[in-house]
Structure 1
Amino acid sequence: ACQQAPTSPRAAFLLGLCAQDRGDHATAVAAYERALALDPALPEAWTNLGIVRQATGDLVGARAAYGAALRGRASAFGRISQALAGAPKGELWLDLEGLRRDLAG
């Protein structure tokens, strides 16, 4: 799909999902970054980029991606807060409104 539609953010996003499912973090990050270069307003790509960065131990990069996702779509907050708390390298916030404000920057 990416070869057939190299300017499609959706194709790049789907490649990122496939790579993420396989545990290929480097390919997933590259694909999500490509999708976001094509369409910076893709909250799903920002959220998944955050999840992959968090899985690789890059919590600062993950939080930056989560913040971009939240600014793009407020309804992404539930998934973001679960991802932050549910991974081996993450954060548990008891004050969810504080987390929301912190990520929204």
Structure 2
Amino acid sequence: MTPHQLHRVDGELSDRTEIVAANEAGSSAEKLGNEWQLAKDSIRYVLRDSGTTIRPQRRLTSDGIDHAATSYRNRESLHRIGKRLGGRGPPGS
């Protein structure tokens, strides 16, 4: 996939609507950052500045952390642990 090029018009991003629409369609700030060659925080700024509600990031519970640590000590791969605990895996996976 070719990254999008960011365009500025009078110092403003002219592509805000595309970024907001992609986020509302389910794309994460991290994925949009990769596509637009921007930091995740920059994407989140564009979304907040456009009035978009930022989805909360998933966090593991204490039990989930303990389970992941035990699985890792038992030589389970981080990829498999992440998938089981609801992670998306590496980009493109």
Give the TM-score band, short-chain normalised: 0.3 to 0.5
Q: Larger strand proportion, structure 1 or 2?
A: 2
Q: Which has the higher helix share?
A: 1
Structure ID, larger Rg: 2
Q: TM-score, normalised by structure 2?
A: 0.32
